[in-house]
C-alpha cells in the first residue's frame, strides 16, 4: 500500500535524482538533503515562486516550458552573483489528478513538466536534492537553488560607484514580445521563433556571470527579471547612486517586417520582464576589457552611474527624463 | 515612488533581518543570499509548504501561530538529521490588502504573522537570509531552512537494523487533539492548554537530535510530521526492515476528566499528525544509554526493528496486527 504522496515523490525522484550526484551526500527521500560545501567557497541561496495563473497558464505555456523555466529563473539569481548552481529543492503542489495519473499514457502534464525540468537540471549542472509535495487545486511551484561562489568574489547589487559604466547582456524585451505572441495565440509564429523561445526557455547567463566574478570585472550586478526600468533602480538604491541611460544604445527587439504595425521596441526593452539577462557595472578604467560579445551573447554599454540618485534616460534628441519603474510588479497588476 | 513588492520586502526585512547575523555574509535585498559554511560541517537543506486552507485556516489559526509554525515544521526536518538550523528563505504570496496595508493600525495579519515568525527565528537561532514575494488570492508560504551538521554525523532514515530498539520523544497525538479542540471552537479550552499549544506552537526537538547525533546514539531517525503510522513505515522502507510496536508503550494523550466522552487516545497517537516529535532507533547494546527523559521531554521505548519487512502493532491481549498508514496524506483526504 503506497500512499499518494510517497508515490509522487518516487516518480519525481525517478526522473530527476542523479545517483552519486555531484557533491550531494544525501538526496531525495530523507528528512533533509545533505550537501558538502567546497573549501574556499561561499554558499549562494535563492528561491522563486512559479504559480499557475500568476507566472504561467497551463493552456498557453507548454508543461515542459514550466519545468524548464521554474528552475532557470532561480538559477538566474545565482548567475547574477557570479556563482555556479549545485543543487535545488522542488516544492510542488498539484491537483490530485495531475499528481497521481498513470505515467506514460500519451502526453501528460507531469511527464512533460518533469522532462523540461530534467533538461534544465542537466543544462545548468544542478541536481535535485529534495523538496516537498502536497495536493492543491492549482499548480504551485517553488524552487530553491543552492550554488557556490569563490569566497569574496560574489558580485552584489551594492558595489556601483559614480562614473561606472552600465552594461547589459543580450537583447531586452524579447521575452515580453514572445509572451505577447503566445497570448495572442499567434499560430504562425514558428516553434523556433527567437522571442517565443526566450519567453518559454530562458537561458540564465551563468558563464558570463562567473567570468565577470572570477576576473573581478563587475562592480555590481543584478539579473533582469522584472524589466530594466524596475531592476536598474534596485541596483542603484542598493549602491546609493543613480544612473543615466542612453536610449539609443539600449538593445531592443527588431521591428517586424513591413506589413505589421510598428512595435514600441524601446518600451519593450525598458519594461518587459522575464529576460534573465545580466545588468552590470564596470569601473571606467576596466570598461575596455568588456568584449562586444561573450560566447555569442552581445554585451552593450547603455549608460553610466551618477552621483545624483535619480535614474534618467536620455533620448536621441538630447532631452533627459526620469525612468519610471514600469516593469513587472505583482502588487501593481 | 516605492513599488509594491519592494515595500513588502522592506517591511519583512525590518522585522526579521538581523544585522551582522551569524555567519551570513549577505542577506535580504540582493539577488541571492550568501552563507559561509563552517569547515568540517555538511550543509542540511529542507523546504516545506504551509498553505491557507491546506495547512492552516486564517479564521481558526492565529496569525502568529502561522508565522511560528511555518518555520518550526521545516526546522524539525533539520532536527531529524541531528543538525542545527542556520538561516532560512521565506517565500510569501499574499493578497494585496494583506501585503500592503499600513502597519501598526490595530491587530493586522501581517504584523502578527511576522511577530510569530520572529519569535521562532530567535528561538531556533535561524536568521532570515532571503526569499521571494508575490501577490495571490490566498496566503501561500514556503520555507527553506539551511542547517549544518558535523560531517559524517547526520542521522538518516536508512540506518535501522533488525534488533534495534525504537524510541519516540514526547507524547504522540497531542497536536491532533489540539487541532480538534480548535476546529470545534472549544472556547473553554484555556490558552495554555497543552494540546492546543502543541498544535499552534510546536517545538522541534533540536537539542535532542543534536545530542543523539553528536554521541552517535541513534542508528536512524525521522521526525513525526504525518503521524507514527505513516512515518515509521517510511523509516522502515528506507532501512529495508520492519518493526513491531508494543501498543501499551505508545505515549498517548491523557483521557479527559470524567464527564467527557472517552477519546481513542491510541488512534490519536498512531495517526495524528503535526507532533514534530522524533522517532529514532538505537542498537540494542546502546539502548540503556537513552535516558527516561531529555531536557524535560519524555523518551519512550515503543518497540523493535524486525528483519521481516512489515510494521505490526501488538495489542495488550498479545495479538499482532498490521499498522496501516492512516496518518496525514495530502493526496488521500
Q: What is the ipTM of this complex?
A: 0.91
Whether B135 contacts A333, CB under 8 Å: yes
CB contact under 8 A, B26 and A133: no
Segment B301-321 mean pLDDT:
96
Query: Which of B174, B171, B319 is CA-nearest to residue B247?
Result: B319
Which chain A residues touch B136 with a CB distance below 8 Å?
51, 54
Restricting to B residues 128-147, those with a Cβ less than 8 Å away from any Cβ of A are 129-136, 140, 142, 144, 146-147
User: What pLDDT is recorded for position B106?
Assistant: 43
Residue range A128-154: mean pLDDT, rounded: 94
Residue A259 has pLDDT above 80, yes or no: no
Quick one: pLDDT at residue B22?
Answer: 44
Mean pLDDT across the stretch B34-38? 89
* Window from A226-230, A244-248, B258-262, B289-293 with minimum mean pLDDT: B258-262
d(CA B329, CA B306): 25
* Dihedral angle sign, alpha carbons of residues A157, A82, A285, A227: negative
Q: Answer whether A310's CB lies under 8 Å from A322's CB.
A: yes
Mean pLDDT on B31-41: 90
Mean pLDDT (chain A, rounded): 90
In this predicted structure, the answer to whether residue A102 has a pLDDT above a threshold of 80 is no
pLDDT tens digit sequence for A22-68: 445 566 778 888 888 999 999 999 999 999 999 999 888 999 999 99
Chain A closest-CA separation from residue B280 CA (Å): 13
**Mean pLDDT value of segment B227-245:** 97
The answer to whether B94 and B136 have CB atoms below 8 angstroms apart is yes
Q: Does B213 touch chain A (CB under 8 A)?
A: no
Q: What is the pLDDT of residue B203?
A: 97
Flag whether pLDDT at B186 surpasses 90: no
Give which of B81, B131, B319, B45 is closest to A132, Cα–Cα. B45
- Expressed in percent and rounded to 5, the helix, strand and coil fractions of chain B are 35, 25, 40
Q: Residue A305: pLDDT above 90?
A: yes
CB contact under 8 A, A134 and B81: no
State the Cα–Cα distance between residues A10 and B237, nearest whole angstrom: 12
Residues 21-40 of A with CB under 8 A from B: 25-26, 29-37, 39
User: In whole angstroms, what is the distance from residue A57 CA to residue A65 CA?
Assistant: 11
- Please check the confidence at residue A185 and state whether its pLDDT lies above 90: no
Q: Greater confidence, A108 or B70?
A: B70
Q: What is the pLDDT of residue A251?
A: 98
Span B183-187, average pLDDT:
73
* Residue that the C-alpha cell 479550552 belongs to: B189
- pLDDT at position B55 over 80: yes
At residue A333, does pLDDT exceed 70? Answer: no
Give the 3-state DSSP-derived string for chain A, with helices as H, strands as E and coil as C.
CCCHHHHHHHHHHHHHCCCCCCCEEECCCCCCEEECCCCCEEEEEEEEEEEECCCECCCCCCHHHHHHHHHHHHHHHHHCCCCEEEEEEEEEEECHHHHHCCCCCCCCHHHHHHHHHHHHHHHCCCEEEEEEEEECCCCEEEEEEEEEEECCCCCCHHHCCCCCEEEEECCCCHHHHHHHHHHCCCCCCCCCCHHHHHHHCCCCCHHHHHHHHHCCCCCEEEEECCCHHHHHHHHHHHHCCEEEEEHHHCCCCCCCCECECCCCHHHHHHHCCCCCEEEEEECHHHHHHCCCEECCEEEEEEEEEECCCCEEEECCCCCEEECCCCCCCHHHC
State percent of chain B over pLDDT 90: 72
Tell me the pLDDT tens digit for each residue of B86-143: 999 999 999 988 877 765 544 489 989 999 999 999 999 999 988 999 999 999 999 9
- Lowest-confidence pick of A247-251, B16-20, B224-228: B16-20
Instruction: Give the nearest chain A residue to B41 (CA atoms).
Output: A36
CB contact under 8 A, B42 and A25: yes
Cell reading at A279: 545588468
Instruction: Choose the closest CB to A134 out of B5, B49, B156.
Output: B49
Parallel, antiparallel, or unpaired for β B84-94 and B140-150?
Answer: antiparallel
Identify all chain A residues contacting B150, using CB atoms and an 8 Å cutoff: none
Q: Determine the distance in angstroms separating the CA of B271 from the nearest CA of chain A, rounded to an integer.
A: 14
CB contacts, 8 Å: B29 with chain A: 157, 238
A4 touches B at CB < 8 Å: yes
pLDDT for B189 equals 65
CA distance B160 to B310: 14
Count of Cβ atoms closer than 10 Å to residue A311 Cβ: 24
pLDDT of residue A186: 63
Q: Is the pLDDT of residue B250 over 90?
A: yes
Most confident of the ranges A7-11, A262-266, B157-161: B157-161
pLDDT at B248: 96
Q: Is the pLDDT of residue A322 over 90?
A: yes
Rg (CA), chain B: 21
Helix (H, G, I), strand (E, B), or coil: what is residue B94? strand
Binning pLDDT at 50, 70 and 90, where does residue B24 land?
A: low
- Under DSSP, the state recorded for B259 is T
- Residue among A47, A130, A325 whose CB faces B132 most closely: A47
pLDDT at A325: 87
DSSP string covering B286-329, please? GGGGS-SEETTEEEEEEEEEESSS-EEEE-TTS-EEE----S--
Alpha carbons within 13 angstroms on the beta-carbon side of residue B86 total 23
Q: Count the alpha carbons within 13 Å of A109 in the hemisphere toward its beta carbon.
A: 17
- Percent of chain B past pLDDT 70, that is, above it, reads 91
pTM to 2 decimal places: 0.93
Flag whether pLDDT at B1 surpasses 70: no
Lowest mean pLDDT among B95-104, B114-123, B188-197, B227-236: B95-104
First-to-last CA distance in chain A?
A: 46
Element housing B131 (H / E): strand B127-135
Q: Cα(A326)–Cα(A323) distance, rounded to whole angstroms?
A: 9
For B19, residues 6+ apart whose C-beta sits below 8 A from its C-beta are none
Q: Which distant-in-sequence residues (6+ apart) come within 8 Å of B316 by Cβ?
A: B247, B248
pLDDT tens for B148-183 read 999 999 999 999 999 999 999 999 999 999 999 888
User: Given an 8 Å threshold on Cβ–Cβ distance, is B47 in contact with A131?
Assistant: yes
Q: Which residues of B11-38 are buried (b: 16+ CB within 10 A; e: fewer)?
A: bbeebbbeeebeebbbbbbbbbbbbbbe
Cell triple for residue B18? 538581523
pLDDT tens digits, B198-212:
999 999 999 999 999
Residue B258 has pLDDT above 90, yes or no: no
Query: What pLDDT score does A261 carry?
Result: 81
pLDDT at B100: 72
Q: How far apart are CA A312 and CA A198, in angstroms?
A: 28
pLDDT value of residue B326: 86
Amino acid at each position: 500500500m503506497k500512499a499518494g504522496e510517497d508515490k509522487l515523490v518516487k516518480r519525481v525522484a525517478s526522473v530527476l535524482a542523479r545517483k552519486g550526484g555531484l557533491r550531494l551526500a544525501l538526496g531525495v527521500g530523507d528528512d533533509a538533503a545533505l550537501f558538502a560545501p567546497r573549501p574556499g567557497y561561499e554558499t549562494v541561496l535563492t528561491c522563486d515562486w512559479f504559480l499557475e495563473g500568476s507566472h504561467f497558464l497551463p493552456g498557453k505555456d507548454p508543461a515542459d516550458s514550466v519545468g524548464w523555466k521554474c528552475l532557470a529563473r532561480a538559477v538566474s539569481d545565482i548567475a547574477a552573483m557570479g556563482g555556479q548552481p549545485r543543487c535545488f529543492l522542488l516544492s510542488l503542489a498539484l491537483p490530485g489528478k495531475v499528481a497521481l495519473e498513470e505515467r506514460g499514457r500519451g502526453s501528460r502534464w507531469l511527464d512533460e513538466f518533469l522532462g523540461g525540468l530534467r533538461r534544465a537540471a542537466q543544462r545548468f549542472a544542478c541536481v535535485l536534492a529534495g523538496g516537498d509535495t502536497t495536493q492543491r487545486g492549482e499548480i504551485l511551484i517553488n524552487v530553491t537553488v543552492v550554488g557556490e561562489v569563490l569566497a569574496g568574489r560574489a558580485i552584489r547589487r551594492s558595489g556601483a560607484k559614480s562614473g561606472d559604466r552600465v552594461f547589459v547582456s543580450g537583447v531586452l524585451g524579447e521575452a515580453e514580445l514572445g509572451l505577447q505572441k503566445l497570448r495572442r495565440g499567434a499560430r504562425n509564429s514558428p516553434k523556433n521563433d527567437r522571442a517565443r523561445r526566450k519567453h518559454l526557455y530562458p537561458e540564465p547567463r551563468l558563464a558570463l556571470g562567473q567570468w565577470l566574478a572570477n576576473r573581478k570585472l563587475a562592480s555590481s550586478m543584478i539579473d533582469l527579471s522584472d524589466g530594466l526600468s524596475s531592476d536598474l533602480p534596485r541596483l542603484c538604491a542598493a549602491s546609493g547612486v543613480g544612473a543615466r541611460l542612453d536610449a539609443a544604445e539600449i538593445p531592443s527587439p527588431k521591428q517586424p517586417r513591413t506589413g505589421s504595425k510598428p512595435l514600441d521596441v524601446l518600451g519593450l526593452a525598458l519594461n518587459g520582464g522575464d529576460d534573465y539577462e545580466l545588468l552590470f557595472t564596470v569601473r571606467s578604467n576596466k570598461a575596455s576589457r568588456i568584449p562586444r560579445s561573450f560566447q555569442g551573447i552581445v554585451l552593450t554599454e547603455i549608460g553610466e552611474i551618477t552621483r545624483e540618485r535619480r535614474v534618467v534616460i536620455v533620448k536621441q534628441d538630447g532631452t533627459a527624463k526620469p525612468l519610471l519603474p514600469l516593469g513587472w510588479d505583482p502588487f501593481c497588476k
